[in-house]
Amino acid sequence: MLDERTPVVGGQPLCVLDLDDVIVDGQLLPSAAALVDELQTYTEVSVSGAGLHLLAAGTVASGTRRGKVDDLPVELITSGFLAISGVRWPETPAGIALRPAELAQVRGELDPGSPPPCFRPAARPVTDVLSALLGQRNGVKVCRLLIDGDTSGYPSPSEAVFAAARLIAWRTRDTGVIEALLRESPLYASRWERPVAAGRTWITHTVHRALSADFEGGET
């Protein structure tokens, strides 16, 4: 589990750059190879066999960010759970390097703006809440939604997000924590930012709906 509060190298926390579908016929796409060459840090093949994880240490703004770096789709992860394969990409360093400047540059390219004004940052570490949720009796359901992004079994992705919000709300009533956990999950979609009612974005409105829902033992 990644925890932005825990130093791993040079007093800096661990960050991961997740690159999907960049290995084609055993070779890296040129844009991915350029990023690997620039960071010069521990790099492994993802569990899927088609992507890469670049692990480096550095303090950047918290939260998962998705976007493009020179047209290369990149996900920057600073907290949460990640499946580590241990299969190092050839000719890359065996250790995790300290790369705060490089990570900050990537973070800036992925999200040059500030968070939406309606989004209130979490008042407590979201990793603590996520760990508690995964340890509950419905932890498998939490893992399927928030870690795997699996929406099968729900009528629509929107219903899956609402279900995830209700599961989190059973553990905490903090809207900032709930929204942060949802935003850092694979469920995130840009449409969440559209305004829907009373000056709220779709995701903020969904969180408030979840908090108002009638719970029965925390199940959804």
Residue 148 lies in a domain: yes
Same domain, 101 and 153: no
Strand pairing report for 97-98 and 195-197: unpaired
pLDDT tens for each residue of 184-210: 888 988 888 888 877 788 998 999 889
| pLDDT tens for each residue of 31-55 | 999 999 999 999 999 988 999 999 9
**pLDDT value for 171:** 86
94 and 158 inside one domain: no
Q: Average of pLDDT values for 154-164? A: 93
Contact yes or no for 178/184 (Cβ under 8 A):
no
For residue 10, name the pLDDT band (cuts at 50, 70, 90).
Answer: confident
Which domain covers residue 98, as residue numbers? 8-110
Domain-ending residue, one of 42, 77, 110: 110
Instruction: Read off the pLDDT band of 114 (50, 70, 90).
Output: very low
Residue 136 has pLDDT above 50, yes or no: yes
Shared-domain flag, residues 73 and 166: no
pTM score above 0.75: no
Map 31-77 to HEC letters: HHHHHHHHHCCCEEECCCCCCEEEEEECCCCCCCEEEEECCEEEEEE
Are both 131 and 205 inside the same structural domain? yes
> For 151, phi and psi rounded to 5 degrees?
-105, 10
Tokens describing residue 176? 């900032």
Asked whether residue 132 is domain-assigned, the answer is yes
Q: Is position 2 within any domain?
A: no
Task: Please tell me whether residues 36 and 88 are part of one structural domain.
Answer: yes
Among 110, 138, 153, give the residue marking a domain's end.
110
In a domain, 70, yes or no: yes
Contact residues for 108 (Cβ-Cβ < 8 A; gap 6+):
none
Give yes or no: residues 73 and 137 share one domain.
Answer: no
CATH of the domain at 50: 3.30.2250
Whether residues 82 and 135 share a domain: the answer is no
**Domain total for the chain?**
2
pLDDT of residue 50: 92
Domain presence at residue 1: no
Residue 188 located in a structural domain? yes
Task: Give the pLDDT band (50/70/90) at residue 145.
Answer: very high
99 and 133 fall within a common domain: no
Are 151 and 87 found together in one domain? no
What pLDDT, in 10s, does the model give residues 67-108?
888 778 898 888 777 788 999 999 999 999 998 888 888 887
